[in-house]
Structure 1
Amino acid sequence: MTQAPPSARPDRPSVDTVVHRFERHVRGAPESLALVHGGRRLTYGQLGARVDRLALRIAAAEGLAVRERPAPALVAIGTARHDALVVALLAVLKAGATYAIVDAADAHTGRRQLAALAPHLLLTDGPGRAGLDDGHGHGPSVLLLDAADDDPPAPPGPPRPVAAGAPGASPVPAARPGEAPGGPSGGLPTGPSADPPAVPFGDPPAAVLLAGSADPRPVAVGHRLLLAALDGWTEVARLAPDDRHLFTGPPDALPFAAGWTRALCTGGALVLPDPAERDPAALADTVRAEGVTVVHTDPGRAARLTAPAGRPPYAAPARRAPDERLRSLRLLAVTGDRLYLDEQIALQDRLRVGARVLNVYALTETAGVGTFFEPSQPGRPLDDPERLSLLGTPFPGCRVHVHDGQLHLAPPDGSDALPTGDLGRLRPDGLLEFGGRLRDRVTLDDGTRLDPYTVESEIRAHPGFGGAVVRPLPLPAGARTTLAAYVTPTPDNPGWARVAPSQDLAGLRAHLADRIPPPAIPRRLVRLRTLPRDRGGREDRGAVPRPPAADPSTGAKYGAAPGDTGPLVWGCLIGLLMIPAVVVVLVATRFVWPGSTGLSGVPGPWAHLFVGLYVCEAWAFVYGLAFLLWGKRTLRVHGRGEGLTTTAHLAVSYLLIAWWPQDNLYRLASRTDWPHQAALVYLFNIPLMIAGFLVIRFLTWRPPSHQGRVEED
């Protein structure tokens, strides 16, 4: 089944690019506001002048002066100064090169992105250079964004060579794709790194966007595609020169990296919040102060942005007075992850009447366009909005078809359709419906494949749960597949202030009993305050904590389903095997440390107490060795991260193992043998203190990503 809009128009003159669109506004409206960053404001004329100066520096950069190359040079931009970043990406395009944005705020992420990109040149500032340097001298050439790029434009001088009737135009004509300023004779050259990813002939890359957060994957986007995506957004969002745009995500993420054109290539203004202002309350204040009309965000940030102070996200859907801080907002574009229909309606109800909320489904390969849905599209009432995530209809120029349940999306530049890795279906009313992701599929014990999205949607239909993620727990080879349900509270129950009987594991299983097959019903339940999300706003299934296994009939946390007696059997078996091991250690003490356990000088009533001490030391030593060999898996379930889990595992093992050798060595050491005494202190006493601190750190640390806590069933 195929879905396409009537206005599919991939053909356009190749000379037209986004930088040419920007130049039209520089020439035609040089006094219009273009950029807002804190207290600084730049008009199109001022921004164009800054772009010109930097474009000339890029074209003249040392080592980049080769006139012929198969593709434009790739220039990475990494700076925490977002106004300088915007100037840099426009200057890169104007110099005929290809831009890529890396994260300068998180140096670790930025270095991984640079390694994946292998750019010819890095545009950065002093702090960015220090953070992005790999320390081995293998990085790209560096061009610093100096203070000269921030100087205000010079006073008007003699007439400049601009198009007739275009006052205030930029002095450097925009290069065609692959050319440096001034024409084809100044093409940018090859740098020390590998060439950027190959692109189809006739559409050289304008940008290399980064897909994925853990393992960045470069995706080349051509000039024609970037412009077609802009035209699609202009038509769908009805963009106008009086719009002011704000992006809530990081600049290297897809919405901004490909979407800045929606502001600066339509004559609008781009409002750049400081990193310290990305708190939802601060962003709402920025919307009010700057009169922002269009916000581009993700589901999690959209909920927090529109939630009133002191109220949880996704409040009850009853209509109320809109937040005064958001009165200027006419469009809320939500992308990056699934958005359920009831969540979208709740967002709509928090804005003024007539404001729009778009659920946008897009790929990096399509430059941020794909499909869009808004609640006015169906044309008839819909049941069960908590179960539906509607993708709607394609952007102009895009085509979507469903093959074997998987969505395939064709970009608006006329390229072939791409498999998205997502599932969906075309409904009888002509709307696309999201159906989950292939990478999340689970194979159950009977060999059937389960899409967790189906189970999660049914859990959301439970009146006591707000959001849900279902995933299998890692288990030893041969063990039965166990599904865990991670749930968040409803808006009227923030922080799980109240837990009804129906909100425990038994209540959840009863709710799902007649809705999904029994093998697909979760056998663990974990309550979180919010679902963890990555830096791009997507739900991070890998960041949810692993619940410890226990039998629910005992009233312990996260119990196994009735009948699962495996942990009890293994516990009894290990306990029986430890008895002979303890005896072996007690016997070995006589040979390893002869005389250390002698009780000839201890009065009879007290000797039995010391025998108990020796037995406990031997038992702790045996149990510590067992924990060192097999106990790490029991700590992983707490979701503290591999590094902290390994540290705690070694600390607990040492706390148990150390008592047997420590006490025996102390009993054999002379009280006045100070070298021996000092060696024992630094070998045992101080490490035992450090191990105790490490265990406390492990027990008190909480992952910042989900800000949640695990509650009892």
Structure 2
Amino acid sequence: MPQEPPTSKDSASRPRRCVHQLYEDHVRRTPDAVAVISGSQQLTYRQLDERANRLARHLREAGLPRGGPVAVCLGRDAEVLTAVLGVLKAGGAYVPVEPSAPPSVLRQVLADPGLFAVVTWESLRVMVSDTVRSGRPVICLDTQAEAIAARSGEPLDAGVGISDLACVLYTSGTAGRMPRGVLIEHRTLASAYEGWRVVYRLSPADRHLQTAASEFAGFTADWVRALCSGGTLVLAGRDEDLDRAGDAAPLHRLIVDRAVTVVACDVPTVHGLHRHLRSQGADLGDVRLIAVSGDSWYLDEQQALRRTLGPHVRILNVYGVTEAAGSGAYFELPDRPAVTEHPERVSPIGTAFPGAAVAVLGRGGAPAARGARGELGVKGPVLGRGYRDGSAFKSGQFLRTGDLGRVRDDGGLEHLGRVASHADAEAVLRGHPSVGECLVTTIEFGKGRKTLIAYVTAVEGGELDWSELRLFLSTRLPSARAPQTLTQVAALPRTRSGKIDRSGVPLPAQRDATRRAPGGKGALSADGGTGGDIWGAIAGITVFFSFLSWVLTDALWPYSTDLSLVPNPWAALFTGLYVCESLAFGLGMAFLFCARPLVARHGRSPALTSAAHLAVAWLLIAWWPQDNYYRLAAKTDWARQAALVYAFNITLMIAGAVVVAFVAAKPRTTDLMR
């Protein structure tokens, strides 16, 4: 067992200095040490500090108030550290936002009425200006470089206190919720850093890999750990990100070439790195510590990584929440792990970092007994002030995280997933030797029809046998908690922060679970609302409304279908046209009432799915009323002609464009379905 690191309760619970002041200590001690590496660019502590001081004076000159929020929208670049430190030195609070974030997130962050200014690039000015409220300064580091460089690079005292606001970090939007801004004070960052310093055993010799997008708490945790300990922050560029195939070769080269010693990353990244190391027979060079966070990382995966890397690399499974600036709890894999039954079902998170308290909450909010399950709660100095919407965290009380946990028999904590997840079914599925990852969720097919569906990936080089898998589940789970439908996917959908995206799964195409899919791959149950029952309903509704429209035509539009003066065969052809119009109307009504699941299973966004559903229905429905109105309209009745054109022709054009957009759009989880 590795030795437990010494605790530092007093210093962790009562920080006296801000993190940018801790960083400034190293500016004075080792000004020529490398602070940041980004591609071919390197900045020493002195260079970074002078740039940050100049920007801080520029912000103060612009009128930045104490604690005023400043959005930093720069992407992954060394200058993002200049901006972050400049805002802190000026007495403000930085609000990191990634330029590549979804438009809804950008609007939410940049349209905040309390935002004082935005620091960005000229190339992003138009995007930022379209969102940020008028009158807010937009500071472009490239086009305003001359004015900023004219400021003094000497240190300045903004009179910042430990209780002042340091940053606003947005949550990752788990389970489809909109991200929430968390108010993080200087004392929160300082307390979190002290816990990391003790557990990670940080030193100025360390080189820290930074892979998280700037908007997430992981980015702030990375730079605080690196620069407050006098180490070097190595920024991974876009070329080093894992691609859709999970290729970790560029990231591995960066780690080795830059002599990285501390790797803090999410679960998909460590999965990609491990696959690459195994396939190439490679190692991680100088890496001494890997800390993995963001989602459940299971004990069998940790043990497999230990076998690949050897005992000289420390392996930590970290449970962190944005409300605590990424701090929370950690589990360090022992050198000689104890024998654990079903390690593929267990994600231990161990014990709380110094400065934090993490507990499993039972009924009434009290900590649960050993062996009990409940909601994980966090409290202590690492907890922020509250949410941007005004709700404050209560001092001395646990903040409920929305995650499910359990107290193990040894007193350690175990992460079981989200409270609303089907953690027991997922744990059992992971226990099958042919299953890599899995996600179990409830999907609603039509009104009130819900199906429990498991999305499953096969182990590398393996293949799933559905009959065997169903038998495996039936002997280990009650039927009420077992998935009714099994769907094989190439990879589970994940959010931009690396968490499993439970709202991003596509609806599966339905097949009989007892049959093998073409090519010997997936098999699905017929339950789910896209089988024969829906087509039967569509056929019945189509016949009903087609007959109804045929009967009502003369009542609604007298003489619009009168063919008494039209000779044959033209009269017969026009009669066929009227029949087709009625059939199209009936099919359109049936599509409107029944076909939402058929459209939704293609995996587009909910808004585009709804728009396409209505557009197809209107393309079918509109012909019957449109043609009958037109046939009764006089050629010179310009008012009616214009009304008809805009009521039908223009809307049909729009509906056609919506269908084109639906067909052209990529599914929300590209390349998931096999």
Q: 1:610 to 1:349 in 2, by over 3 A?
A: farther
Distance 2:530 2:237 in 1: 53
Q: Which runs of 5+ in 2 are unaligned?
A: 243-247, 363-373, 384-394, 518-522, 635-639
The CA deviation string for residues 281-309 of structure 1, in whole angstroms up to 9 with x for no partner, is: 4333322332222222110122224432x
For each residue in 1:37-72, what CA deviation from the matched residue of structure 2 results, as whole angstroms up to 9, or x when unmatched? 2221111111121122222222222364xxxxxx63
Q: Please, which of 158, 171, 193 is the counterpart of residue 211 of structure 1?
A: 171
How far apart are 1:682 and its partner, in Å? 11
| Cα distance in 2 for residues equivalent to 1:297 and 1:217 | 22
The answer as to 2:79 corresponding to 1:84 is: yes
Partner amino acid for 1:247?
Answer: Q
* Partner residue of 1:284 out of 222, 247, 252: 252
Contact 1:337–1:538 (Cα < 8 Å) also in 2: yes
How many Å separate the matches in 2 of 1:243 and 1:412? 26
Given candidates 394, 407, 410, the residue that maps to 2:352 is 394
Shift in CA distance, 600/342, structure 1 to aligned 2, threshold 3 Å: farther
SS at match of 1:466: strand
Q: Are 1:656 and 2:620 matched, yes or no?
A: yes
Alignment match of 2:145 (pick from 144, 147, 150): 147
Q: Which residue of 2 aligns with 1:540?
A: 501
In the alignment, the residues of structure 1 paired with residue 445 and residue 99 of structure 2 have an alpha-carbon distance, to the nearest angstrom, of 38
Per the alignment, do residues 8 and 81 of structure 1 end up closer, same or farther by CA in structure 2, a change over 3 Å counting?
Answer: closer
Give 1:628 shift.
2.9
Q: Is the partner of 1:543 in helix, strand or coil?
A: coil
Maintained 8 Å contact 2:15/2:191: no
Q: Contact between 1:648 and 1:698, CA under 8 Å: does it hold in 2?
A: yes
Aligned residues: 629
Given that 1:111 and 1:133 are in contact with CA atoms closer than 8 Å, whether structure 2 keeps it comes out as: no
Secondary structure, in 3 states, of the residue corresponding to 2:111? helix
Aligned to 2:97: 102
For the 8 Å contact 1:259–1:368, the answer to whether it is kept is no
1:159 matched residue in structure 2: none
**1:166 aligned partner:** none
TM-superposed deviation, 1:463? 2.5
Aligned to 2:7: 7
Matched, 1:239 2:235: no
CA distance in 2, matches of 1:263, 1:35: 9
**Displacement, 1:689?**
8.5
Does the CA contact (< 8 Å) of 2:111 and 2:133 recur in 1? no
CA distance in 2, matches of 1:205, 1:492: 50
Quote the offset at 1:471 in angstroms: 1.1
How far apart are the structure 2 equivalents of 1:364 and 1:115? 21
Evaluate the alpha carbon distance shift between residue 332 and residue 366 of structure 1 in structure 2; reply closer, same or farther with a 3 A threshold.
same
Distance 1:685 1:555, change over 3 A: farther
In the alignment, the residues of structure 2 paired with residue 332 and residue 647 of structure 1 have an alpha-carbon distance, to the nearest angstrom, of 45
Q: Which residue, out of 260, 278, 289, partners 1:331? A: 289
How far residue 366 of structure 1 moved from its aligned partner, in angstroms, is 1.9
1:559 is matched with 525
Offset of residue 531 of structure 1 = 0.9
Residues 125, 688 of structure 1: CA spacing in aligned structure 2 closer, same or farther, 3 A cutoff? Answer: closer
SS at 1:295 equivalent: strand
Distance in 2 (alpha carbons) for counterparts of 1:368 and 1:21: 19
| Inter-CA distance 269–381: structure 2 relative to 1 (3 Å threshold) | same
Q: Which whole-Å CA distance do the structure 2 matches of 1:320 and 1:641 have between them?
A: 36
Distance 2:58 2:572 in 1: 85
Unpaired segments ≥5 residues, structure 1:
65-70, 155-169, 179-201, 309-314, 441-450, 671-675
Say whether residues 1:409 and 2:378 are aligned partners. Answer: yes
| Shift in Å, 1:346 | 3.4
Whether the aligned pair in 1 keeps the contact of 2:298 and 2:347 (CA below 8 Å) is yes
Equivalent-residue separation in structure 2 for 1:7 and 1:293 (angstroms): 23
Between 623-632 and 406-415, report the one with greater CA deviation: 406-415
1:482 counterpart = 2:451: yes
What is the TM-score with the length of structure 2 in the denominator? 0.81
Q: 1:172 aligns with which of 120, 143, 155?
A: 155
Looking at structure 2, the residues matched to 600 and 407 of structure 1 have their Cα atoms a distance apart, in angstroms, of 80
What amino acid does structure 2 have at the position aligned with 1:111? R
- Distance between the aligned counterparts of 2:399 and 2:512, measured in 1? 46
3-state SS of paired residue (2:312) = coil
User: Percent sequence identity over matched residues?
Assistant: 38
The match for 2:388 is: none
Q: 1:251 to 1:577 in 2, by over 3 A?
A: closer
Partner of 1:583: 547
Normalising by structure 1, report the TM-score: 0.77
Deviation at 1:361, TM superposition (A): 0.4
Please tell me whether Structure 1 or Structure 2 has the larger radius of gyration of its CA atoms: 1
User: What amino acid does structure 1 have at the position aligned with 2:78?
Assistant: D
Partners of 2:250 and 2:280 in 1: CA distance: 20
- Cα pair distance change 1:103/1:118, threshold 3 Å: farther
Distance 1:246 1:6, change over 3 A: closer
**C-alpha distance in 2 between matches for 1:403 and 1:128:** 45
Q: 1:268 maps to what in 2?
A: 231
Partner residue, 2:423: 453
Contact 1:249 1:537 in 2 (8 A): no
